[in-house]
Amino acid sequence: MSLSRTSVVSTPVVELAASASPAEADTTSTSKPTALVAPLPTEDAASEGSSSVAVAPDANVPGTGDERPSTPPTQAELLDFVRRAAADTELVASLPLDPEGRTWARLEGPGGSEAWLIGWPPGTGTGWHDHADSVGAFLTAAGELTENALAVRLPTDGWKTLELSEGVDRHRKLSAGRGRAFGSHHVHEVLNESATEHAVSVHAYYPPLPLMRRFSRSGAVLRLEQVERPEDWQ
Ligand SMILES: [Fe+2]
């Protein structure tokens, strides 16, 4: 069920929501303190204000459909989707921006994928997290984002802290028009390190994120802080 360019970018569900954040839209910007403690699924971060304009649709947006396609979207298809959506200037401009916190709108991703348009004020970020078994892609539509990632797969269960070896850190600067796809169990944090400029990005995941693990990091030590599930993002 591939989507035409038009349908892909024309169906953002823009619900001004007070409480939830999208999966990659993290938490710091939510209006509910609890959400902040337990950030959302994917990319994001810092919103402190309870007045942030959160465009957070329900997990199951009408039109998105829960049916799994017989052929799941590939990483390349997800990357193609986020690239086309990011190039839709009308769509990108439709996202409300808030200097106090991240904003987001859900999009209809290809093949039943979960997709988001996210606005990042200067200085916001997601914190370290993974995406369970989901593969994904994201691309900067405006401004510049930084991705810090780990080039290792973390154990799924049975640990609270891990000491990372040298050489596993990866660092990318993603200016407008640049993005990446990633495989399952990808671990990263995404940041807008600009002191002055907002960033906007598009993200897509398949299957829709079943959970997200959030980590804190001190030097080489990674600590599992929280496991979040979609119901936590409602
Ligand atoms: Fe992420």
Q: Are 116 and 24 in contact (CB under 8 A)?
A: yes
| 130 CA → ligand 1 middle, Å | 6
Domain count, the chain: 1
Distance 197 CA to ligand 1 centre (A): 21
- 151, 105 contact by CB (below 8 A): no
Cis ω before 207 (30° cut-off from 0): yes
* Tens-digit pLDDT profile for residues 35-58: 222 233 345 332 222 223 333 333
2 falls within a domain: no
Structural domain span for residue 25: 7-233
Ligand 1 geometric centre to CA of 16 (Å): 22
Residue 220 alpha carbon to ligand 1 centre in Å: 20
Q: Considering the domain boundaries, does residue 27 fall inside one?
A: yes
Q: For the segment 168-188, what is each residue's pLDDT rounded down to a tens digit?
A: 999 999 999 999 999 999 999
**Domain containing 70 — which CATH number?**
2.60.120.10
CA of 115 to the centre of ligand 1 (A): 12
Q: How far is residue 207's CA from residue 195's CA, in Å, rounded to a whole number?
A: 34
pLDDT one-digit tens code per residue, 52-97: 333 333 333 333 445 566 799 999 999 999 999 999 999 999 999 9
Does residue 1 lie within any of the structural domains?
no
Distance of CA 131 from the midpoint of ligand 1 (Å): 6
Q: Does residue 110 belong to any structural domain of this protein?
A: yes
Q: What phi, psi does 222 have (nearest 5°)?
A: -105, 130
Predicted local distance difference test score (pLDDT) of residue 67: 58
What is the CA(136)–ligand 1 centre distance, in A?
Answer: 8
